Amino acid sequence: MTIKKVGVLGCGLMGSGIAQVAASAGFETVVREVSDDLIQRGFAGVEKSLAKFAEKGAITGEQQQEIHGRLSGTTTFEALADCDIIIEAIIENLEEKRKTYAELDRICKPETIFASNTSSISITEMMTATSPERQKRFIGMHFFNPVPLMKLVEVIRTILTDETIYEEAIEFGKQLGKTTVRTSDKTGFIVNRLLVPYMLDAIRALEEGVGSITDIDTAMKLGLGYPMGPFTLGDFVGLDTTYYIAEIMFNEFREKRFAPPPLLKRMVLAGLYGRKSGRGFYDYSTDPKNPTPMNLV
């Protein structure tokens, strides 16, 4: 099967980014959201992103218009019925995802490939909400934020994924201009499996007085050449998101390295989520470009 039409579930930060790269790669792309307001809000972000690419000369004004022409929004599942692949990027809630997939399974053509952008939820658990034939065509495609700039896509297969479908998904990822890596349905996949314990250990080091927030961030940047330290990264990703992923991984593996440290739990309970809430390990409320470290321990 040749993929020609792409469906995207969700028009938030990830969904709109996935839709943008799909339309930019030449695919007719339909984005489904629960309201027109959310669709317009997501498409406004796409327009802003494309304008930046045009300003830098990465695309022409004509190409910008062509990309817009390949994008459309909908509030119905029925508009996705003839899509060749549907990439889900909705809320990280297993039951909501299963409910959505069950509905789509009844509507979409038998050939449609289902792909989830989840960063941590089991693909197999989502897959079982669909028919046995659809389960062979069910994969994970984990993109990274910001999608138009980040080159990596983790392509995840389950124990039931058809080999031909998996290879087609790998090729599709390449057509989107991404570098694909192969991985299996183990919670966290490759990146989060290695990244989350690193971030949690940094929090434990802070709790134990090994170094301050700025010293630990600086050490990892200058000592290992990382683009940002673990606390700056945590604030960027969202500490609530990090906590949620860690909880899922700990429940899966029952290993201490995946257990959220007490400080992280208390920060999330206190609403200190990072950049999106204005405060996390750093306070961004006064000067977002030059945040000051919080006094947490």
Q: Which residues lie across from 140 on neighbouring strands?
A: 116, 156
Instruction: Decide if 3 contacts 82 (C-beta within 8 A).
Output: no
What residues contact 164, with CB distance under 8 A and at least 6 apart?
none
Residue 241, phi then psi, degrees to nearest 5 = -65, -45
142 is catalytic: yes
Q: Which of 117, 119, 120, 122 is catalytic?
A: 119
33 is catalytic: no
255 is catalytic: no
154 is catalytic: yes
Q: Could you give the C-alpha distances from 284 to 15, 85, 197, 211, in angstroms and in order?
A: 26, 39, 25, 21
Q: Which of 16, 49, 117, 192 is catalytic?
A: 192
Which residue matches tokens 């802070």? Answer: 206
Q: Which of 116, 120, 122, 142 is catalytic?
A: 142
Pull the structure tokens for residue 129.
Answer: 């909400």
Pull the structure tokens for residue 272.
Answer: 């200190």
Catalytic residue list: 119, 142, 154, 192
